[in-house]
Chains A and B, each alone.
Chain A
């Protein structure tokens, strides 16, 4: 029996799970506040743009999005299996491709800011 290559993805899954556990609730709260417009001065274009315009901000945003994507992708793969779908190879390609596309798009958009 050959050793598994799952560690590549599991490493990202575990790191991502930790990062999303720390930041996603607060992020979701911020976007929820923005959506409900509690305060017109919050979540403004200027403030967000200023954060994303410097390289440290870009790095933080990229790190959070990259790890969230790969965390979610890997867990989705396992969850689809748990729901009874027996097509792990195909599912893996789809979910990792989604994460890969998301990662690329994030890079492109960040470089445009």
Chain B
């Protein structure tokens, strides 16, 4: 007799069933912070184009408790995005040299090193 039973799967809460799904969703949700932050940058450009007074008012507004909280959460989300992104690069872009594949740790390490250099440049330019 053929009467297969299909177990229900919740479309809205499936990711609560396993820790690895929660980590995946945390990774995906970082994009909302990056989306919002990019619009903040665009707003900053607008203020920059409007002149010193407008720009200073923009920086002033950043300093509100809400502004600081927002920046802090973006920072945390962005760091989580960076680590999860770099950690999987050897899977998406393996490099074969001669016969062997370059060990994943080396590819990841190179990304982290470059990340440090880029961050330093941004900080020097910005600070």
- A–B direct touch in complex (beta carbons closer than 8 A): yes
Instruction: Determine the chain B residues whose CB is within 8 A of the CB of A52 once the complex forms.
Output: 45, 48
Q: Chain A: interface residue count, which band?
A: 35 or more
**Does any Cβ of A come within 8 Å of B123's Cβ?**
yes
> How far, in angstroms, from A23 to B125 measured CA to CA in the complex?
12
Contact call B62/A35, Cβ cutoff below 8 A: yes
Selected contact of B122 from candidates A17, A23, A69, A82, CB within 8 Å: A23
Tell me the minimal C-beta distance from B85 to chain A in angstroms: 4
Contact call B71/A35, Cβ cutoff below 8 A: yes
> How far, in angstroms, from A28 to B41 measured CA to CA in the complex?
10
Tell me the minimal C-beta distance from A11 to chain B in angstroms: 13
**Does any Cβ of A come within 8 Å of B59's Cβ?**
yes
Dominant SS among interface residues on chain B:
helix
Contact call B126/A30, Cβ cutoff below 8 A: yes
Our count of residue pairs bridging A and B at CB distance below 8 angstroms stands at 155
Contact call A24/B48, Cβ cutoff below 8 A: no
30 A-B contacts (beta carbon < 8 Å):
A17-B85, A21-B81, A21-B115, A22-B119, A23-B119, A24-B74, A24-B81, A25-B79, A25-B82, A26-B120, A26-B126, A34-B126, A35-B63, A35-B67, A39-B127, A42-B126, A45-B56, A65-B45, A68-B34, A69-B38, A72-B31, A76-B31, A78-B28, A79-B28, A82-B25, A82-B28, A84-B12, A109-B42, A109-B48, A110-B49
Besides A21-B115, A105-B42, 14 more A-B contacts (Cβ < 8 Å) are A21-B86, A22-B118, A24-B34, A26-B122, A27-B37, A30-B122, A35-B62, A42-B126, A45-B48, A49-B48, A61-B45, A65-B41, A82-B25, A106-B42
A contact set with B: CB distance below 8 Å = 17-18, 20-37, 39, 42-43, 45-46, 48-49, 51-52, 61, 65, 68-69, 71-73, 75-76, 78-79, 82-84, 86, 98, 102, 105-106, 109-110, 112-113
